[in-house]
Structure 1
């Protein structure tokens, strides 16, 4: 795990001026850590062969890092300890045979902040894994969408069916499974609820 030294969690929300050109990603992350005091945690192979996007202007570290990671296939998760975890992400459909989470999640009030979108993708993948492990939820093909609220510690606070599968008992089980799935702590000011659609194929 590669890391660049960091300081406090307060650095996450303070706007500052960035002028970081496009360069090898590991170098860009190191420069970003030096400017913000945030600890960057990632497996070194993730950065290998990747080029950062340029970051120029006055913005928060969250927005700056999201901009830097555009086009790399990676996302960032800020922790309460003043660190940032860099991880591989997806930008569209997430496939977990036999479950596929489809369509970009619509987050709250039509916010398009890349940090919020990256977090919603993480939630979608985590819930997909949980559902995939439940044979009773993969015994038939169906579509279903949920509305989800997440507490500050990452615990699902509330989950509702937005568009049902046509089977009330299955829908209830899907909600129960979602609410039992611990998620990463959400970014500050995440507009909620998140709305996520799932398409499930019957297990062969």
Structure 2
């Protein structure tokens, strides 16, 4: 368990000014604890590979923590007056969030953004290969990190795809509660699957 050392404890309803950018979740929790005096207990394995959401402004400590955890798949549960523990969001709740109309529309926007970026890249036009893309999206809609999972079998195509993923632009904030990272599967052209590029 990890227990970041808190600063002076704030009153439960006392607001605090925070300036926490998107960063590895463990580091963000540490900054939160130092600023609010709250203890946040969590298994380090839960935080590994997760990015916090941005928290900038003046908030009550519990509200700030909830904002920090948006999109991480984790939630905070109060165990004493100033101590929280992080636990995974139940799979059933995540499934309900993922299937909401607003979330489904945003997944469509991500898919279109990836397709546009691939279609603009030489040697990376979709339709001939399969891979999985993992994206981390900032509150303003900017893609702050991307990773290709799997290879097309051609190093040049892999390189072009990686570059294209870094250029994906959404220009729209994720809806509340949108789970991250986002995992998108790109499949070859075939029956019922169109390439999505008008250009050659």
Structure 1 length-normalised TM: 0.43
More strand by share: 1
Q: Answer with 1 or 2: which has the greater Rg.
A: 2
